[in-house]
Amino acid sequence: MASATAVPVSSATLPLAIDALVKRFGALTAVNGVSLEVQAGECLGLLGPNGAGKSTTIRAIVGRVIPDSGRIAIFGARADTNAARSALGWVPQELAVYPRLTCKENLIAFGRYHGLSGKQLSDSVAWCLDWAALQDRANDLAMKLSGGMKRRLNMAAGIIHRPRIVLMDEPTAGVDPQSRNRIFEMIEALRKQGTAIVYTTHYMEEAERLCDRIAIIDHGQIIALGTKEELVHNAFAARSQVTARFGGSEARIVDWVQRHGGRMVEGVAEFSIERSIEIGALLESAAKDGLDLEDVSLRRPNLESVFLHLTGRELRE
Amino acid sequence: MILPIIRTAIASLRRDRAALALAFVLPVSFFTIFAVIFGGMHDTTPKITVILVDQDQSSASQQLMHALQQEGSLVIRTHPESKDKPAQPDYTAATAEAAVKAGDAPIALIIPKGFGQNPIAFGPSRDNSSAIQLLNDSSDMIAPQMVSGLLQKAAMTSMPSAMADQGVKYTEEYLGELTPDQRKKAESNIAQLRKLEKDGTINSAASSSGSSGFDGIIPVHARAVVGQNKKSPMVSFYAAAIGVMFLLFTASGSAGALLDEAESGTLDRVLSSRITMTSLLAGKLTYNTLLAFTQLTVMFLWAWAVFHLDFFSHIPGFVVMGLSTAVAVAAFGLLLASFCHTRAQLGALSTLLVLIMSSIGGSMFPRYLMPEAMQKAGLLTINAWAIDGFTKVFWRDQPVTALWPQVTVLLTVGIVLFVVARRVARRWEFA
């Protein structure tokens, strides 16, 4: 096990410190030198497309994946120690609950697995049911719950032992917008209590709404890390994006776009401009070259734009 | 349009190893087992071990014994066999009875003193004191019938002089005395027969192809020394035999929860808590053991309630055998589950193994019906040891201490299978 054999003393108060984490599966390097730190009460987003290495990073933190190299420390403790397990909560992407147990029985089971008993356990179960708004369904079988409720139960089971840092691996996968909002509220409630959160998603809006800082991860590497504003500023400074759709010959459109410093993304011309007045000049040039403008828009860059800018690919490809 | 459907189905079947095993391996395995047991691949009838005690030591008893020894389907033992003590004293009537009770042999024949004077009786036996005693274990319903038949056959073929002698006696008794000439001729012929018997010209039951035909030429007094007071013979056997087979199925199914948990991600979550893989498997082993023991208890209670099995006077033996069997089957289930990757695989593999184990282990038909080699092969199964143990408890009324071989084997099997399962389960621990 390569994780955290000699963790610096200063990291003992840091909820999570990852240093140069590498994990390979055969020829595939799933995580390639990831380094991260998460502060107390902070929500760090891991944003990246499917297969980027987010879940492998999370599973390495939880101790379910043995890194090939690198160090992981949870409040200074190695990932596979009981101290780390007590401090760490994990909400896996899968609905990892017992379908034939009730909500309450599930929470009791996972509480016991984490060493809770007696009043401490019953208090925790009550708190979790309340947090997940499942009090009314406490005695319903997990298999009978709606998709959103199952997700909430899945989350509650991950924090039954009241961890100080929680890893959430795409907790909103497959839920409707209403349930998603309920889940966001749960996460925000957790943050207010000072719990550090690592949140993986490939939904830009979720990262923007929930996370203090965002690490954009692609091909196992962190390609950008910072607040949303920092990421956008670093990628685009004060520039805005113009997107335009033209009709007619594709070869002519591509040629024209390249001559004007833009690029084609899925049939749409994209330009980066410093001042909005530059749009007029662009459109005038297009008209002069006989391009048939169908649609044009101006927007401030967002995380999607940052990802596209850094990788040349859409976030959800 | 039919061809594409067939192609798709064949491609799916080729990749579904579980379905392939159920479709081809299971039927072929079963056919083979049944063919070996009931077919002609080996001796058609298994050999029956018979303990023989000759209290008479007459020429007639010696001839009979010799003839029985020549019988290919019997294994005659006059003294206990032991590798450690080659020179064992001959069986007596008491030790022979004890041996049948202990299950060392299903039959004992005791040729009493005075047998040689009246070895053959036509019609109903008038004198029980010189009748051969046939002591049997009533759980084996076939052996006494077979040995009785062979006994009559041996008498017919091995003791012609005695038969002639007795014939003369019966003639004189019912038809009047022979004339001196007739008597002389008869005695001369009988002497000639005795000479041929001595020469060995007439001695072999095995060389004769005649059937016993005459039922009851030799007076035989049969007595069951095991199970004679049981209200429902064979109930305890089938309670154990069927019970163990279904225990194996249930244990495999129950251990399959591990695969469900692995698939749903619950196993990962459990292992990310304070639960280690060893404690998880130990917990599942304990649960599956208790489940199996409860199943056995229900089965035997049903046998008590409906079939009058004497359950409550055998509680200690039942608990010892029940728990030992439950540990072994629970570990078996865990091992299968840890080997398989999907529920479907587990279902196919467990069906295959459990049915094969049950058929050669005695859950489907008693092992004494099987050829010797298969009886030995049966000892590789949990079923055989469990059934033997329960038979000792409920059939032979043996004390708990007599269960040590079965308990030792079953617990060892349980421990070994659990250790292997733990090792195989490492694949779930870390990526």
Q: Are residues A136 and A160 in the same domain?
A: yes
The ipTM is 0.81
**Model confidence band, residue A6 (pLDDT cutoffs 50, 70, 90):** very low
Q: Are residues A65 and A172 in the same domain?
A: yes
Instruction: Look at chain B and report how many structural domains it folds into.
Output: 2
Q: Are residues A222 and A267 in the same domain?
A: no
Res A158: pLDDT: 95
Give me the domain span that covers residue A54.
9-228
Closest CA to B247 of B333, B359, B310, B338: B333
Report residue B411: phi and psi, to 5°: -70, -40
Res B199: pLDDT: 61
CA distance A268 to A272: 13
Q: Are residues A184 and A51 in the same domain?
A: yes
Strands A268-273 and A263-265: antiparallel
Give me the domain span that covers residue B359.
230-428
- For helices B382-394 and B343-361, the axis angle rounded to 10 degrees is 50
Q: Are residues A158 and A284 in the same domain?
A: no
CA distance B403 to A156: 50
3-class state of residue B132 by DSSP? strand
Q: Are residues B215 and B359 in the same domain?
A: no
Flag if A92 and B269 touch (Cβ within 8 Å).
yes
B116 contacts B78 by C-beta, under 8 angstroms:
no
Residue whose tokens read 């101006």 = A298
CA distance B241 to B236: 8
Non-local (6+) Cβ contacts of A97 within 8 A are A106, A142, A150, A153, A154, A157, B264, B266
What CATH number is associated with residue A265?
3.30.70
CA atoms within 13 A on the CB side of A175: 25
In a domain, A85, yes or no: yes
**B410: which 2 tokens?**
């079953």
Amino acid at A224: A
Classify residue A76 as left (phi > 0), alpha (psi -120 to 50) or beta: left
CA distance B423 to A164: 34
Hey, is the C-beta of A90 within 8 angstroms of any chain B C-beta?
yes
DSSP single-letter state for residue A138: T
3-class state of residue A89 by DSSP? strand
pLDDT above 70 coverage of chain A, percent: 94
**Model confidence band, residue B420 (pLDDT cutoffs 50, 70, 90):** very high
Flag if A64 and B264 touch (Cβ within 8 Å).
no
In a domain, A217, yes or no: yes
Non-local (6+) Cβ contacts of A35 within 8 A are A18, A19, A20, A21, A222
Which residue of B264, B274, B430 is in closest CB contact with A64? B430
**B404: which 2 tokens?**
């040590």
B273 contacts B311 by C-beta, under 8 angstroms:
no
- Chain A stretch 12-51, residues whose beta carbon is closer than 8 A to a beta carbon of chain B: 25
3-class state of residue B229 by DSSP? coil
Last residue of a domain, one of B226, B248, B273: B226
**A228: which 2 tokens?**
């949303």
Instruction: Look at chain A and report how many structural domains it folds into.
Output: 2
Which residue of A66, A85, A99 is in closest CB contact with B272? A85
Task: State chain B's mean pLDDT as an integer.
Answer: 81
Residue whose tokens read 């489940």 = B291
CA angle (B370 as vertex; B369, B374 as ends), nearest 5: 160
Q: Are residues B342 and B395 in the same domain?
A: yes
Res B121: pLDDT: 65
Chain B residues whose beta carbon lies within 8 Å of the beta carbon of residue A62 = 268, 272
Hey, is the C-beta of B415 within 8 angstroms of any chain A C-beta?
no
In a domain, A246, yes or no: yes
Q: Are residues A266 and A179 in the same domain?
A: no
3-class state of residue B389 by DSSP? helix
How far does the CA of residue A93 sit from the closest CA of chain B (Å)? 8
Q: Are residues B331 and B311 in the same domain?
A: yes
Chain B residues whose beta carbon lies within 8 Å of the beta carbon of residue A113 = 270, 273-275
Classify residue B386 as left (phi > 0), alpha (psi -120 to 50) or beta: alpha
Q: Are residues A256 and A214 in the same domain?
A: no
Flag if A113 and B265 touch (Cβ within 8 Å).
no
Flag if B274 and A115 touch (Cβ within 8 Å).
yes
Q: Are residues B246 and B380 in the same domain?
A: yes
- For helices A177-192 and A147-158, the axis angle rounded to 10 degrees is 20
A47 contacts A201 by C-beta, under 8 angstroms:
yes
Encode pLDDT of A282-291 as tens digits.
888 888 888 8
Which of B267, B269, B430 best tests the A interface by mutation, with the highest count of A CBs <10 A? Answer: B269
Hey, is the C-beta of A67 within 8 angstroms of any chain B C-beta?
no
**Model confidence band, residue B132 (pLDDT cutoffs 50, 70, 90):** confident
Flag if B274 and A114 touch (Cβ within 8 Å).
yes
B422 contacts B281 by C-beta, under 8 angstroms:
yes
What CATH number is associated with residue A187?
3.40.50.300
Hey, is the C-beta of A2 within 8 angstroms of any chain B C-beta?
no
Flag if A90 and B269 touch (Cβ within 8 Å).
yes
Q: Are residues A160 and A60 in the same domain?
A: yes
Closest CA to A199 of A163, A172, A160: A172
Encode pLDDT of A190-237 as tens digits.
988 889 999 998 888 888 889 999 999 989 999 999 998 898 888 887
- The side-by-side arrangement of strands in the sheet containing B220-226 is B74-77, B48-54, B107-111, B132-137, B220-226
Q: Are residues B325 and B367 in the same domain?
A: yes
**A167: which 2 tokens?**
């890893």
**Model confidence band, residue A110 (pLDDT cutoffs 50, 70, 90):** very high
CA distance B266 to B272: 10
Give, for A72, the enclosing helix (H) or strand (E). Answer: strand A69-74
In a domain, A68, yes or no: yes
What CATH number is associated with residue B86?
3.40.1710
Q: Where are the alpha helices (DSSP H) in B313-371?
A: 315-339, 343-361
Encode pLDDT of A129-179 as tens digits.
999 999 999 999 999 999 999 999 999 999 999 999 999 998 988 888 888
Q: Are residues A219 and A291 in the same domain?
A: no
